[in-house]
Structure 1
Amino acid sequence: MTSAGVYAALGPEGIALMDARHGKGRWRFLDPVGSQLWLTITGGTAPEAAVELLTTRWQDKGADAARVRADLGALAADLERARLLQPAARPLTTRDGAEIRFETAVPVGLVSRAAGHVALFGALVLLRCLPVRFALTGARAVTRLPGRAATVAQAEEAFTAVRRAARMWPGRAACLEESLAAHFTAALTGHRVRWVIGARFTPHGAHAWIEADGSVIGQDETDRIWPYVPTLQVEHPH
């Protein structure tokens, strides 16, 4: 059974769980040992049996069985209380080969400029005034609008339109608001991009961005800690 609203990013350093069922969303990062426990349980093994299986495995490697059993048992109980011991929706892994394109000044047409303001307003309302699940619903809804896959240049124009619109709004628009607004802007101007929320493990962190034609669009020159592992992605169903 899949836990609707829970999304997972699988990486070599562990697993990141995004719980979008409550409020603004919650993140939980598990190290490789915790990831083994989560994957074993969500794969169909009962929590108690999973704890014993992994305890035996680590005992064979020389670890103290009592301590391993206690630590894994506590983690399993904690995850169960958080209702995270169910398979997450569409577990994702690192996507290799994506080109990281940093923010650059590009011309923005009048239509894109207007769409950027409308889209940013919508993104701010959804993300600041409502639980995050409404933003996810809105992001999926605009993928039904008619349009074609955006080129890198078209996606960069949508992102730049949002950045410029954000200068006129009070407060700072973070990556989540900007990327969702860019996703909306592209859709309103007849283009499709992929909206992605992801996580990194060293250090722990979350990020959101848009992609077009295999490229990550509009990243900050100062943020070179990649790759982020996709946790959730919204795009037009092909």
Structure 2
Amino acid sequence: MTSLEAYSTVRTGTFPERVAAGFGLALALVLLRLPFRHTVRAVRWARRAGRRPLAPQRAGALVDAVRHTGRLWPGRAACMETSLGAVLAAALMGRRLDWCLGARFCPPPVEYHAWAQLPGGGPVGEYTEAGWHHHTALTI
């Protein structure tokens, strides 16, 4: 993950989206300290709470709001934390995003990656225009 992608300096989203982003990221940071099965169970529960998918532009703003909130955290707030935070923030707003774990390819680097995705759509807030290809290993 590039530093531009990890730490957004632009404050985006409406006030409710920014509040949900803060709570979602805080909850994600706690859940990622637990065994992974508990994290998966919590995400599945959160997806049931969010029944309606987000509009694509609102989903992008929410992911950017979570990235911006991650700047305040003194520890690691990279792709795993921000994508999980976005999924949980969407659930707090009564909306739904998928949490995807997999790999991101662009010759020559190949890296493990996590991202938020619209149900039935593509990655949200990711640089897919530059030739990056996302291959999903697990969708929750």
Q: TM-score, normalised by structure 2?
A: 0.79
- Give, in whole Å, the separation in 1 of the partners of 2:102 and 2:62: 20
Secondary structure of residue in 2 paired with 1:144: helix
Structure exhibiting the larger radius of gyration computed from Cα positions: 1
- Give, in whole Å, the separation in 2 of the partners of 1:145 and 1:199: 28
Displaced runs of 4+ in structure 1, greater than 6 A? none
- Structure 2: which 5+ runs fail to align? none
Aligned partners of 2:60 and 2:124 also within 8 Å: yes
- Give, in whole Å, the separation in 1 of the partners of 2:12 and 2:104: 32
Secondary structure of residue in 1 paired with 2:76: coil
Instruction: Report the more deviating stretch, 182-191 or 225-234.
Output: 225-234
AA paired with 1:226?
W
Aligned residue number for residue 31 of structure 1: none
Match 2:126 to one of 219, 225, 232: 219
AA paired with 1:214?
G
1:178 aligned to 2:85?
no
CA root-mean-square deviation: 2.7
Aligned partners of 1:199 and 1:230 also within 8 Å: yes
Displacement of 1:228 after TM fit?
A: 2.5
Aligned partners of 1:197 and 1:208 also within 8 Å: yes
Displacement of 1:124 after TM fit?
A: 0.7
Secondary structure of residue in 2 paired with 1:108: coil
Deviations 1:65-87 (A, max 9, x none): xxxxxxxxxxxxxxxxxxxxxxx
1:189 aligned to 2:96?
no
Displacement of 1:209 after TM fit?
A: 0.6
1:127-166 superposed matches below 5 A: 127=32, 129-166=33-70
Secondary structure of residue in 2 paired with 1:171: coil
Secondary structure of residue in 2 paired with 1:197: strand
Displacement of 1:225 after TM fit?
A: 5.8
Instruction: Report the more deviating stretch, 207-216 or 194-203.
Output: 194-203
Which one has a larger percent strand, Structure 1 or Structure 2?
Answer: 1
1:63-142 superposed matches below 5 A: 107-127=12-32, 129-142=33-46
- Indicate the percent of aligned positions where both proteins have the same amino acid: 37
Aligned residue number for residue 205 of structure 1: 111
1:232 aligned to 2:138?
yes
Displacement of 1:199 after TM fit?
A: 2.0
Distance 1:152 1:106, change over 3 A: farther
Aligned residue number for residue 168 of structure 1: 72
- Structure 1: which 5+ runs fail to align? 1-101
Aligned partners of 2:10 and 2:68 also within 8 Å: no
Secondary structure of residue in 2 paired with 1:228: strand
AA paired with 1:208?
A
- Give, in whole Å, the separation in 2 of the partners of 1:176 and 1:146: 20
Q: TM-score, normalised by structure 1?
A: 0.49
- Give, in whole Å, the separation in 1 of the partners of 2:29 and 2:114: 14
1:28-47 superposed matches below 5 A: none
Displacement of 1:120 after TM fit?
A: 0.5
